[in-house]
Amino acid sequence: MFKNYLKIAWRNLRKNKGYSIINIGGLALGMAVALIIGFWMYDELTRDSYFKNKDKIAQVYQSQAFNGRIDTGPAIPLPLEPALRDGYADNFKHIMMASWTQDSYIKYKENSISRPGNYMQPVAPELLNLEILKGEKDGLREINSIMISKSTADALFGKEDPIGKILKISNQYDLNVTAVYQDIPFNNTFNSTDYIIPWDNYVANREWIKNSLDHWDNNSFQMFVQLAENADMESVSETIRNVKKDLNEDTAEFNPQLFLLPMEDWYLRNNFEDGKQVGGRIKYVWLFGIIGAFVLLLACINFMNLSTARSEKRAKEVGVRKSIGSQKGQLIYQFLSESFLVVLFAFVVAIAIVLLSLDGFNELASKEITFPWGIGMFWLISVGFIIFTALLAGSYPALYLSSFKPVDVLKGTFKTGKYASLPRKILVVIQFTVSVAFIIGTVIVMQQINYAKNRPIGYDRNGLIQIPTWSADFQGKTDIMREQFIKSGAVTAMATSSSPTTRVWSNRSGFTWEGKPDGFQEDFAWTEVSPEYASTLNLKVVQGRDFSRDMASDSLGILINRTAVKYMGLENPVGTVIRDSDKENLTPSMKILGVVEDIISQSPYEPVKQAWYVYDRNNNFSYYNLRLNPGQSAKQNLAIVERVFKENFPAIPFEYDFVDDEYAAKFAAEQRIGTLSGIFTALAILISCLGLFGLTSFVAEQRTKEIGVRKVLGATIFNVWNMLSKDFLKLITISCFIAIPIAYYVMNGWLQEYPYRVILKWWIFALAVFGAMGVTVLTVSFQAIKAAKANPVKSLRTE
């Protein structure tokens, strides 16, 4: 029997090729979208699955209140380590201090490369369950040892055995390679950790860290833990909550709250508001999940609509089968198996589409998703997915078709119009509601991105490059380099800075100034710069003056931004003296020389933070900032800059970034979401239009005779077109009325997350409406005009 059903289904598909292509093609597109989104979600949700003890690993986080605003982050102070090891050891299997991941030059003989890595305590290989390929697992015992990833080993040593060889880090320290580990795969935290150096080495070689060992107020380090076997994440988190507050009176005013962020939340739920966890990326995972489900739903609606529209053709078959003895159940079964066949076909086509587009998608979404050929679970889920889709798409037509009464059908007076058209109309309305809402959403996302992109950033980022200077070689050469760069003609100005222009790496507090309100808990973005900083960036000094090399006293000067003036409550900022609150004799007091324009160095969606630009007295710089000569091409300039660089630092690879690229990277996440939702919207519209196209062709076919009669009676092509299009346009109008409030509500909520946001304008909605109408008219007209132009004599003769 099943074979008989499939045979009929197959012959029907072949007989109505246009219908089949629309149906299978639309469904395949929908399924491909659902599959790709499914892969993407799976990839997001299974991040960090490389780590065997994922559910036992956590990072220590801290919330502190500054002037009523609660900041939460992973930076913790050094004395916390002995505090936890002494008083709370039972709760943890491992405690591991770690530095932030940072790029360093690694040199072996004449071969020098720049790689990111961390300083970590010796338990790292165990905690991260590194797979040791060569050397010893316990390779971080000796202070001068280093473990490197396989890719780093290959790049440095080629075929040579790295174990026991000596590497030079930042051209400063010699380290002995003790192990090579398998690179931690993409889609895992520490994926970019290409070397690990003992934590003790980090401390021993840096005065400021040694000085911080008993300072609870220097929150500059990371701590990872693995819980003891029987310990519970939440209760341990609760146990350590007040450790810092209880042990240190000085910082108690900031109400420091410690807690554990479990590894499974690192990537997906790491946003905090007012000290509370408020999700994060997980929101986008679900958002795309919903988009995928909707696109699939649209495709299923096509299937339902086209099947029921064709019901007149199938009605006779239903009548005959019933009169021969088929029961309703058997007919439902038959139509469901037809739907199953179509879905199966569509699934095969969908897999082909996925295979063809996966590379492009990976690029867009910056993923490394591969097709899970060998994974049984995937196929199992796929079978479920096929059955689910077949039921979703086939159930309505099956129930509808199987409920025909044979008497009605066989009498020949049967007309489906009345019965079928209402559900069909509702489904079309749903389709276009989703499409219109998608259009509005996408336009708003794009607008918000553009709005933030066009926000004035306070300096000129074009033709500005930054060169990292993380090696001891750069010390003492700044003035020579500036001279040589400028003399070469490729560069018009150069300044150093302790952090990149597009970022804030350091925040400071503990200062006082005249007029500072009592109990004011200050917090400033802190960048140390050479005197040419403002002029190199074209950063406008709006009050007072810039640094000057001619004034020796400027070495104790600072520039502050506009926001800082307001933040500090200064009437006349220039000349204000700033003192260190507690160690007055240690840090000399500084004087405000001038006020500069606010520059966006953090999120382009947030208000600019109060910032200090401090004269760099201690050669504490990490970047050269170069203003390229606008009179020459960037390519020419860069070639010259590289040459000058190489002449002075032959052992160091020449690396640079364009500041505008770095700035653009801030939009990457939103841009990706914008691009992806744009693509999915286009597909949703395409699928909806396919359905509409199919529907119109059926309606036109059904009304061929009527159209013929009307034409004989004098109807023009326009009359006929109008007659056929009007119904659909009415439906689209209803869709718009439903979609607009929904889209407004959802997108307004989304925008609330961005303090710097675009104002929703009515024309966005008008655009979406006209877009949807336009597409509908085009789609419908194609069929309508074809029907209207047909020779009436022909269509009438067939009756």
Partner 1 sequence: MHYETNKKIHMLLQLNNIFKWVQSGGQRVFLLKDINLSVEEGEFISIMGPSGSGKSTLLNVIGMLDGFNEGEYNFMDEPVHTLKEKHRANLYKQYIGFVFQAYHLIDELTVKENLEMPLLYNKTSSSERKALVADSLDRFNIVGKKDLFPSQLSGGQQQLVGIARALITSPKLILADEPTGNLNSKQGEEIMELFKQLNNDGVTIIQVTHSEKNAAYGSRIINLLDGRRI
**Sign (positive or negative) of CA dihedral 572, 573, 575, 577:** positive
563 near 595, Cβ under 8 Å? no
DSSP 501-528: TT----EE--EEETTPPTT----EEEEE
The C-alpha atoms of residue 220 and residue 78 are separated, in whole angstroms, by 8
As a whole number of angstroms, the distance between CA 659 and CA 502 comes to 7
Residue 26: CB minimum distance to partner 1, A: 23
Closer to partner 1 by Cβ: residue 141 or 405? 405
Nearer to partner 1, 258 or 318 (CB): 318
Could you tell me the two tokens for 716? 């023009």
Quick check: 490 and 629 in contact, CB under 8 A?
Answer: yes
Residues 331/395, Cβ–Cβ less than 8 Å: no
CB of 323 to partner 1, least distance (A): 5
SS3 of residue 6 by DSSP: helix
3-state secondary structure of 47: coil
Determine the residue type at 251.
Answer: T
Among 252, 254, 259, 251, smallest CA distance to 276 is for 259
Task: State the minimum distance, in angstroms, from the CB of residue 19 to partner 1.
Answer: 14
| Min dist. Cβ of residue 326 to partner 1 (A) | 5
- A 10 A CB-CB count for 52 gives 10
Beta carbon of residue 307, minimum distance to partner 1 (angstroms, whole number): 15
Nearer to partner 1, 192 or 330 (CB): 330
Per-residue buried b or exposed e for 458-481, using 16+ beta carbons within 10 Å of the residue's own CB: bbbbebbbbbbbbbebbeeebeeb
Q: Copy the structure tokens of residue 665.
A: 């990277």
Q: Which of 508, 341, 286 lies closest to 2, judged by CA?
A: 341
In angstroms, what is the minimal distance from the CB of 322 to partner 1?
7
Tokens of 265: 């939340």
Tell me how far, at minimum, the Cβ of 399 lies from partner 1, in Å: 15
Nearest to partner 1 of 117, 406 (CB atom):
406
Q: Nearer Cβ to partner 1, position 410 or 742?
A: 410
Q: Tell the smallest beta-carbon distance from residue 781 to partner 1 (Å).
A: 32
Q: Which is nearer to partner 1, 31 or 318 (CB)?
A: 318
Q: What is the DSSP letter of 476?
A: T
Exposure string over 584-609, b if 16+ CB within 10 A, otherwise e = eeeeeebebbbbbbbbbbbebbeebb
Region of residue 227 (phi > 0: left; psi between -120 and 50: alpha; otherwise: beta): beta
For strands 557-561 and 590-596, give the pairing. parallel
**CB 761, min distance to partner 1, A:** 54
The nearer residue to partner 1, 405 or 508, going by C-beta atoms, is 405
Tokens of 61: 């986080």
Toward partner 1, which CB reaches closer, 1 or 759?
Answer: 1
In the numeric block, which tokens belong to residue 597? 């324009």
Look up residue 778 and give its two tokens. Answer: 């085009």
Check if the beta carbon of residue 528 is closer than 8 Å to that of residue 615: yes
By three-state DSSP, how is residue 258 classified?
strand
Nearest distance, CB of residue 770 and partner 1, angstroms: 43
Shortest reach from residue 406's CB to partner 1, in Å = 5
Judge contact between 526 and 508, C-beta under 8 A.
yes
Nearer to partner 1, 319 or 557 (CB): 319
CB nearer to partner 1: give 236 or 318: 318
Cβ 11 to partner 1 shortest distance, Å = 4
Q: Among residues 315 and 564, whose Cβ is nearest to partner 1?
A: 315
Question: Least distance (Å) from partner 1 to the CB of residue 790?
Answer: 23
Q: How many angstroms separate the CA atoms of 283 and 265, rounded?
A: 13
CB atoms < 10 A from the CB of 216, how many?
21
Q: How far is the CB of 407 from partner 1 (least distance, A)?
A: 5
Residue placing its CB nearer to partner 1 in the complex, 142 or 317: 317
State how far the Cα of 683 lies from the Cα of 694, in Å rounded to an integer. 16
Q: For residues 147 and 165, give the distance between their C-alpha atoms in angstroms, rounded to a whole number.
A: 11
Q: Which is nearer to partner 1, 341 or 684 (CB)?
A: 341
- Cα Rg of the chain (Å, integer): 34
Nearest distance from residue 799's CB to partner 1, in Å? 15
Q: Which amino acid is at 766?
A: A
C-alpha–C-alpha distance, residues 773 and 65, integer Å: 52
8 vs 247 by CB, closer to partner 1: 8
Q: Which is nearer to partner 1, 675 or 702 (CB)?
A: 702
- Residue of 89, 116, 298 lying closest to 193 (CA atoms): 116
- Give me the least distance between CB of 333 and partner 1, in Å please: 12
By the 8 A CB rule, do 95 and 57 touch?
no
H or E element in which residue 68 lies: none
Residues in CB range of 411: below 8 A, 6 or more apart: none
Q: Residue 337 or residue 779: which is nearer to partner 1 going by CB?
A: 337
Judged by beta carbon, residue 322 or residue 609, the one nearer partner 1 is 322
Nearer to partner 1, 334 or 416 (CB): 334
Rounded least distance, CB 410 to partner 1, Å: 6
Name which of 616, 464, 465, 474 is nearest 105 in CA terms.
474
| Cβ neighbour number for residue 740 with a 10 Å cutoff | 20
Least separation, in Å, of the C-beta of 703 and partner 1?
A: 22
Residues of this chain that interact with partner 1 (CB under 8 A) are 1, 4, 7-8, 11-12, 15, 316-317, 319-328, 330, 405-407, 410-412
